[in-house]
Structures are given as C-alpha cells and as structure tokens.
Amino acid sequence: MTKRILTVSCIALLLGACGTKKDEMKENPFLTEWNTPFGVPPFDQIKTEHYIPAFEEGMRLQKNEIDAIVNNTEAPTFENTIEALEYSGSILDKVSSVFFNLTECNNSDEMEKIANEIIPQLSNHGDDISLNAKLFERIKTVYDQKEELNLNPEQMRLLEETYKGFVRGGANVPAEKQARFREINEQLSLLSQRFGNNVLKATNEYQLVVEDKAKLAGLTEDQLAAALETGAANPETKGKYVFTLHNPSLLPFLSNCDNRDLRKEIWTAYAERCTSGSTNNTIIIDSIVNLRLERANILGFESHAAYVLDDCMAKTPEAVNELLMNVWKPAIAKAQQEAEEYKNMIKAEGANFELEPCDWRYYSEKLRKEKYNLNDEEIRPYFSLENVLNGVFDVSGKLYGLTFVENKEIPTYDKEAVVYEVHREGKVIAILYMDFHPRESKRSGAWMTEFRGQYETKDGENIIPIISLVCNFTKPTANKPSLLTFDEAETLFHEFGHGLHGMLSKCHYKSLAGTNVSRDFVELPSQIMENWCRNSEVMKSYAKHYQTGNVIPDELIAKIENAGTYGQGFVNAELIAASLLDFQYHIITTPTKISLPEFENQAMGSIGLIPEIISRYKSTYFQHIFSGGYSCGYYSYTWAAVLDNDAFEAFKENGLFDQATADAFRTNVLERGNTEDPMVLYKRFRGQEPSITPLLRNRGLL
Ligand SMILES: [Zn+2]
C-alpha cells in the first residue's frame, strides 16, 4: 500500500522572507534550512518538542501565503493563483511528512498526544483553505479562461486538478445549500467513526474459550500455543485456549479445527457482528448511504458512485459494473466446482451435512494439503532478506538502469533503518530508506511513503525524492539471518514497486508527482513488480539457499506456482461479491430505506451468490466502505489487477527485461505521476486499453 500524508498543499518556499523569529524558533530544525546530505530531515536534531511550534508556525505561514493570493490586487493568473497555491505551505509540509511518518514507524505516547492536539487544528486549517470563497473565485476565474492561457499539459493538469479538488470539496455549492452540505459532512464523519468503533467493540467482545484440548484436534502446536497465550492475558481464562474474531486467530481456526460445532459457533459470531444490541450498525448504514446520496446530489452527481468514480481511472459506474461482472461470472462458476469437490469430500467422510460457509476454509485447506503441500519452513532458507533485496535491486537495475549504494552517513530516525543513494546515469536521483523488521513503536503491515516527494522549484531545479519503505518482516535471530516467507518476498517487491513510482518521478509539480495518482491506478506499479518476484527464471537468479548457496529447486518453484492459483473460485467470488455489495449501496439515485439483512440478501441474490459463500465483508462490518475511505472503491483492487496483469503481458510478449518495453513503462507510467489522465498514460505504454483476459487466465478463471 502507499500512504498519504495529511497535508493541505505543498512545496518549498524560501524561509528568509518570513520575518523575525524568536530564539527558540531559530533552534527549531523545521524552521531552518537542512544542511544534511541530500537535504534529508535532520533526524538526529529533531526532538518531540519541536513539532507543535513548527506545525503552528507552518499553518501561520501558509495562511499568510493564502491571504497574499486572495488579496492580490492584480487579476488572477495561473502564476499568481494556481502556482502560488501549489508552492504554499512548505514548512507545514516539512513538519507533516516527518511527524506523520514517524507516528507510524517510531511512535510513542508523546507522539500520540501531539497528534491528538494537532489533527483537529490541521483539519480546520484545511477547511479554511478549501472553503475559502475568495480563493475559489480566483481559481475559477483562471479555470474559465483555461483555453486562452497557453498552458503546457502539466500546467493544464494542475489547473484542472486544483479546480476539481475545490469543487469536490464543496466550494461551488450554492450559498443556500452550504450549511446543509457542512452538516452532512459532519454527520458522516461522526457516523463513520461510530460504525468503526462498533466493529472494533463487537470484534473484541467475543471470545471462544475451550478448556478441553481434545476438542481442538486439527490445530497445529503453534496455533494451540498462541491460543493459550491469548488466554493467559486474563486471570479467568488462564490455562484455557482462547480464540478471537481477529484474522490471525480466526482464519487458522476455521481452516484447521476438525470440530464442526466449534467452527460454526465462531463463524456465526463473526458473520453476525454488529447486527443487533449496542453495536448494531444497521441504522447507521441506512443514514450513511442516504447522506452520501444527498451530498452527491448537492455536488451535481446523480449518485455517490458517480461522484466517487468521476475522480478515478474507471470514471463511470458502468465501467466498474462491467469489470466486476466479467470477473464475477467465471469466478462463481469456478467456486461452484470447488463446492462440488468439498461436498464429495464430506460424503466420502461418511458425514451427513450440507456444506456451509463455516466449512469452506476447512475443506479447502484439507484438499490444498493433499494436492500441494507448501511448507513455509521449506521455502524460507531460499529467501533470505539479503538475497531477496539483491533480487529486487537487480530487477530494477536491468529494467530501469538503477543502482543502489548504501550511505551510512545519512541520518536516520531509527538505528534499524538503512539508507541508500539511488543512482541512474551517473546521478543520484533519489534517497531510499528501508526499515524491515517489527518493533513496538511500529504499526503492523508494510507500506511505502515519502519524506519528500520529487518536484521542481520555481527556478526549475530538480528536487530529488526521499522515499521510505517500511515493513514488518521476520527478524534475524542469533544464528539465522532474516529468512522470509514467499508472501514477505512478494511484499518487498510490491512495496519496492511503489518506491520506483516515487523514485523515478520526473514531474514539475509535487502534487502531481510520484504516487499522487487515483486509487485505482496507484497499485499498478507495485503489483506489476510481484510478477518478477514469482517468475521462475528471475527466482533462480536470487532465491539461493542462505547456507549452501544452492539455487531453489524446480520442484519448490512448482509448488509455489500451484499454490498461487489454488482455490481461486472462492477467493475471487468473495472479493467480487464484496465489491458488488459496495457498488449496490452507492449507485442508488433516490433516497432509499435500507433495511438489513433484506438489502444485502437482495443484492447478493441478484448476482447469484451461492449459500456456501458470503461476501468477504458483510454490510455491518464492512469497514472499508462505511468507516474507511473506500466507499465505492473496493473494486479498485480488481481494477488494478487487470492493469498489472495486462501490463506484464507486454513483458511476456517482448522479453522479461526487454529494454524498449521497460523504457515505455518508465517514461509513460513511472515518471509521469498524475500529470495526465491515467488511461491516456496507460494506452501510450501499451498501445491499447487494458484487456481483462490476462487476469482471468492468471487466476485460473478462463
Ligand atoms: Zn500497494
């Protein structure tokens, strides 16, 4: 995934013109120039007490900059309005990128306190800009003359994106509707928060407590030990086996526990979360869906889906529906075949019950073990972190001419982070931080982020990006280096792909550069890199045993490949079902009373979901769409997968390291950020619109 920093706007403005400062301000590293190598943040000088004053000063300075734009007596121009806004807020940008990145990977109680204090202020500051009527008036004046301004394509894009951003934020809402518009936004943010809190509460409230180990046949010793450890957290359950509704506990239980009654019990608790009692989310869903429709109408769209998709590569609800149905049909057909296999297994066991959702993972896992037993411990020795990293360096070198040189002189925020200079054609084009292993101050998962995005100054000087990849990979031990699972190796290639999108960026404006693209396009550079990770030829070049140096055997590669396409009917059916459920809620064009479970049953019935499978998320705990920022966006994963499968096809056709193909991908996609419409960029690389066929074939759905 990529992470976006909470800032309003961008870029460097010279500090000298900012008037007098108190002494303490002079010592604040955010308010001085950074004389570090390549201008990286001076992590060794930054202290927690510097943040609040720097945020406050940053907001004050940007407010002055905005006032200067608004009060300019000259007529609005591209330079004095659009560019001036783009280049405003440089100090705020500096402090925000350091602070919000470190709250994710180097957090502390102190940092959280600062975040709680500063986030509401930043949000108000953002509103003051995006709802500034005079500022919008100037932007609109420039926008209305856009054809006469002789702008180059990137300037035109900046103008259009700036205008669109203000319009989508409500700047164009007629005066008589503005109060209602703000009220809707406020209500929606409260409802989303309540929805998320309810899911968290309902998820945490439930525990399956088992005393008798005999009832847990099928679970591995590691799973049992983890369940005992969960039990030990509470005196009442100490010595008992405790399972929860969190995935790391729930999924292995459903896959392995032989006891069907227990599987059914925990499954039911999982699937019925937030349907009743104090955590009931059904009324909240009704309100959210209808408020979103009302807001979309105020903004001039016929549905929330139309509003969201207008700003995405997919553009229209029709395009999304077509994509989803094209994957749905073969996926559900394949899932039906898988269901038949499991029903036969149940019969062969001499059992007499119908296959239900609580059984699916159990029989799927049983069959998977029989067919291709992929054991992590067998794989790991071939995927030492060092070898995988060399693999991804090597692939990036062959494709894009990059070399990576570690530089220990560059300051870091934690001794575990390593820093590389990224060289291309004899120049340093980026700085790359990598931070591989878990620690208490780091949140879980893996992500790419930036301490500074690439851009050009007003004078045309190129400012190189400072990229960071943060992961939580298996740690080294006293006698073993860090040995990755295959999933972890793929994750490193994935995040590195986001990294390349940031590192290779060659844009003029920071807000259009690197990974600042629509969310159904941003996963293309990352997902395509996974293809090199799992390609057998490439794998043989980097996957070598950490002790013997032997190349990974063909038989293990075959196991990894087979495991990758196993069970894809189910995986795709539950994913697409969730995407279509999300879609159904947001294509309504008239106020609709949403009753549950009727609405969901109707939506899932209309596409022919079989009773043995449920949507990956049911409505009452579908946080992506009701409390995260993914409403009408769950399709993005599938959209991006179409792109990356189709794009990799070009490399398969021309050669995995074909220079012309790599150059086309670099110059049309990786270097271009959001400087043009993503479909235009994609077509320039591929010569045509993406085809869904490679995705279906690679997922075994053709
Ligand atoms: Zn990603």
What is the per-residue pLDDT across 178-219, written as a single tens digit (0 to 9) for each?
889 989 988 998 899 899 889 989 998 999 999 999 999 999
Nearest-CA neighbor of 46 among 105, 4, 5, 102?
Answer: 102
Strand partners, 243: 208
- Whether residue 13 contacts residue 455, with contact meaning beta carbons closer than 8 Å, is answered with no
Q: Radius of gyration of the chain from Cα atoms?
A: 26
pLDDT by residue (tens digit) across 445-463? Answer: 889 999 999 999 999 999 9
Q: How far apart, in whole angstroms, are the C-alpha atoms of residue 400 and residue 583?
A: 38
Which pLDDT score is estimated for 1? 55
Q: Ligand 1 centroid to 447 CA: how many Å? A: 7
Q: How far apart, in whole angstroms, are the C-alpha atoms of residue 167 and residue 312?
A: 15
pLDDT over 80 at 346, yes or no: yes
Angle at 214 between CA 213 and CA 219, to 5 degrees: 70
By DSSP bridging, strand 241-243 and strand 208-210 are antiparallel
* Prior bond of 174 cis (ω within 30°): no
Q: How far apart, in whole angstroms, are the C-alpha atoms of residue 131 and residue 184?
A: 15
Q: Ligand 1 centroid to 521 CA: how many Å? A: 10
Question: What backbone phi and psi angles, to 5 degrees, belong to 456?
Answer: -115, 140
Tokens 């590192």 belong to residue:
503
Q: How far apart, in whole angstroms, are the C-alpha atoms of residue 193 and residue 189?
A: 6
- Whether residue 333 contacts residue 324, with contact meaning beta carbons closer than 8 Å, is answered with no
Q: Ligand 1 centroid to 369 CA: how many Å? A: 29
The count of residues in the chain is 702
- Whether residue 466 contacts residue 40, with contact meaning beta carbons closer than 8 Å, is answered with yes
Which pLDDT score is estimated for 629? 78
Q: Residues 506-529: what's their mean pLDDT? A: 96
pLDDT by residue (tens digit) across 275-293? Answer: 999 999 999 999 999 999 9
* Prior bond of 597 cis (ω within 30°): yes
Q: How far apart, in whole angstroms, are the C-alpha atoms of residue 25 and residue 14?
A: 16
Q: Ligand 1 centroid to 523 CA: how many Å? A: 5
Angle at 178 between CA 174 and CA 181, to 5 degrees: 120
- Whether residue 424 contacts residue 402, with contact meaning beta carbons closer than 8 Å, is answered with yes
Q: How far apart, in whole angstroms, are the C-alpha atoms of residue 495 and residue 645?
A: 17
- Say how many C-beta atoms besides its own lie within 10 A of residue 519's C-beta: 19
Q: Residues 675-679: what's their mean pLDDT? A: 96
Which tokens sit at 8? 């309003």
Average pLDDT, the chain: 93
Q: Ligand 1 centroid to 570 CA: how many Å? A: 22
Q: How confident is the model at residue 702 (pLDDT cuts 50, 70, 90)?
A: confident
Q: How far apart, in whole angstroms, are the C-alpha atoms of residue 35 and residue 560?
A: 48
Q: Ligand 1 centroid to 494 CA: how many Å? A: 6
Q: Packing angle between helix 357-371 and helix 247-256, nearest 10 degrees?
A: 70
- pTM for the whole structure: 0.88
Q: What percent of the chain has pLDDT over 90?
A: 81
Q: Ligand 1 centroid to 524 CA: how many Å? A: 8
Which pLDDT score is estimated for 626? 94
Tokens 């700003």 belong to residue:
311
Least confident piece of the model among 105-109, 296-300, 407-411, 628-632: 628-632
pLDDT by residue (tens digit) across 212-255? Answer: 999 999 998 888 998 999 999 899 999 999 999 988 789 989 99
Catalytic residues: 495
Q: Residues 337-365: what's their mean pLDDT? A: 96
Q: What torsion, rounded to 10 degrees, do the Cα atoms 528, 530, 535, 540 define?
A: 130
Strand partners, 450: 467
DSSP assignments along 106-134, one per residue:
S--HHHHHHHHHHHHHHHHHHHHHHT-HH
pLDDT by residue (tens digit) across 19-30? Answer: 344 566 678 999
CA 516 to chain centre: 12
Strand partners, 300: none
pLDDT over 80 at 639, yes or no: yes
Least confident piece of the model among 233-237, 366-370, 393-397, 635-639: 366-370
Which pLDDT score is estimated for 2? 59
Q: How far apart, in whole angstroms, are the C-alpha atoms of residue 12 and residue 458?
A: 9
Question: What backbone phi and psi angles, to 5 degrees, belong to 618?
Answer: -80, 160
Give the chain's count of helices (H) and strands (E). Answer: 28, 9
Q: Ligand 1 centroid to 498 CA: how many Å? A: 7
Using a 10 angstrom Cβ sphere, with 0-12 exposed, 13-18 middle and 19 or more buried, the burial of residue 120 is exposed
Distances in Å between the Cα of 637 and the Cα atoms of 338, 494, 576, 578 are 23, 14, 10, 11
Least confident piece of the model among 240-254, 404-418, 543-557: 240-254
Q: Residues 394-404: what's their mean pLDDT? A: 98
Q: Ligand 1 centroid to 634 CA: how many Å? A: 14
Q: Where are the alpha helices (DSSP H) in 169-316?
A: 175-205, 221-232, 247-256, 260-271, 282-298, 304-309
Which pLDDT score is estimated for 131? 86
- Whether residue 271 contacts residue 614, with contact meaning beta carbons closer than 8 Å, is answered with yes
Q: Residues 391-417: what's their mean pLDDT? A: 97
pLDDT by residue (tens digit) across 122-142? Answer: 988 988 898 899 999 999 999
Q: Residues 670-684: what's their mean pLDDT? A: 97
Which tokens sit at 618? 């049911």
- Whether residue 516 contacts residue 639, with contact meaning beta carbons closer than 8 Å, is answered with no
Q: Ligand 1 centroid to 527 CA: how many Å? A: 7
pLDDT by residue (tens digit) across 56-109? Answer: 999 999 999 999 999 999 999 999 999 999 999 999 999 999 999 999 899 899
